[in-house]
Amino acid sequence: MAGPPHRRWVTVIPPPGSTLSAAGEFLYTCRRMSLLRSFATVGGYTMASRVLGFVRDILTAAFLGAGPVADAFFIAQRLPNLFRSLFAEGAFNAAFVPLFAGMIATEGRVAAKRFAEDALAVLLLALLAFVLLGEATMPWFLQLIAPGFAAEPEKYALTVALTRITFPYLVFISLVSLQGGILTSVDRFAATAATPMLLNIFLIAALALSWCWPVEAAFLLAWALALAGLAQFLWLMVSCARAGMALALPWPRLTAGVRKLIKLMVPGVFGAGVTQVNLLISTAIASLLPTGAVSYLYYARRRGRADPAHPLPARRLRRGGDRGDRLGARRLCRRAARLRPC
């Protein structure tokens, strides 16, 4: 028999006339265990991704070191990730997930799926236009990001060539953020948590190929980055279909839901922009220093990387707030706080 602490969570004696049933008690217990299981699932995949990322960084340092080729690749890798952090994983995700989860709670999955498809169409159109503009103006754009490279024509030309290969990664990884928000909102965490592993696997494979064949490692890494974005997108597309959220691609329309999404994104863009502007300034300064400074900055940032706050309870908190279950939302907050270390 379980002790009193366990009974405090499970045993509920309904008052006279209450509609609470044993099935309701069992559902509440399952939700609590589901939260624990979700944390364990995401934590396990995140740990595996961190291990693969550490292996990737060791191999990258061994093959590229901190020379001109490494500097060029790290700028090419940083540029799409910069805009991903600014728009996709930052402002877009912070605005999209609460809206989508709230729509599931109040209007049902069909209406939420329609909203996600409209958001997908508008996001894809904006991304394609931005990427095409970036590809056309890449030589001038890099003069703002890495002005010091212009003093070394070969290094500058290599950076332009690599960035034009990696920049389409922005399209795929931004769509991955949308798909991950959908899966999180329907309590499917495993596929999203496992997605970063694909990037590390592709980059490790590229480094292995560069060791087996005398090919420029930077170009293999650039193509691996772009292909990893495509693989991540396809992986979550299948996962969304299995979750009953297979998205169609309608004609882009600024519906009321999409306009509200854009309105909510604006403060997030400015908030995330502070951190990204600091990163841009530090990168630009490093490019003015002797060769290898950009690489050293990259390795230092990778060494001190920290994870953001955990998003697992977000959908349930939103669902509880929309349905008026404030007490249940507060209980979920307390359990999530106990699960996350300080």
Per-residue pLDDT tens listing for the chain (342 residues): 334 333 333 343 444 444 444 444 433 334 444 556 666 777 788 888 889 989 999 999 988 888 899 999 999 998 888 888 777 666 787 888 888 988 888 888 899 999 999 999 999 999 999 999 999 999 998 988 889 998 899 999 999 999 999 999 999 999 998 999 899 888 788 888 889 999 999 999 999 988 877 568 889 999 999 999 999 999 999 999 998 898 999 999 898 989 999 888 887 777 666 777 788 888 889 889 888 889 988 888 877 654 444 444 444 444 444 444 556 555 555 555 554 443
Q: What pLDDT score was predicted for residue 41?
A: 73
Instruction: Determine the angle formed by the axes of helices 326-339 and 314-322, rounding to 10 degrees.
Output: 170
**Neighbour-count burial for 209-241, b at 16+ CB within 10 Å, e otherwise:** ebeeeeeebbbbbbebbbbbbbbbbebbbebbe
User: How buried is residue 290: exposed, middle or buried, by Cβ count under 10 Å (0-12/13-18/19+)?
Assistant: exposed
Of the chain, the end-to-end C-alpha distance in Å amounts to: 32
Q: What is the pLDDT of residue 327?
A: 60
Q: At what angle do helices 256-288 and 68-83 cross, to 10 degrees?
A: 160
pLDDT at site 49: 86
pLDDT of residue 47: 87
Question: What is the spatial distance between Cα 342 and Cα 325, in angstroms, rounded to a whole number?
Answer: 27
Residues 207, 221 contacting (CB under 8 angstroms)? yes
Report which DSSP code applies to 148.
Answer: G
Tell me, what's the pLDDT at 214?
58
Q: Are 124 and 87 within 8 A, CB to CB?
A: no
Q: Which residue has the tokens 């841009």?
A: 280
> Residue 85's pLDDT is what?
76
Q: Which residue has the tokens 């279950």?
A: 325
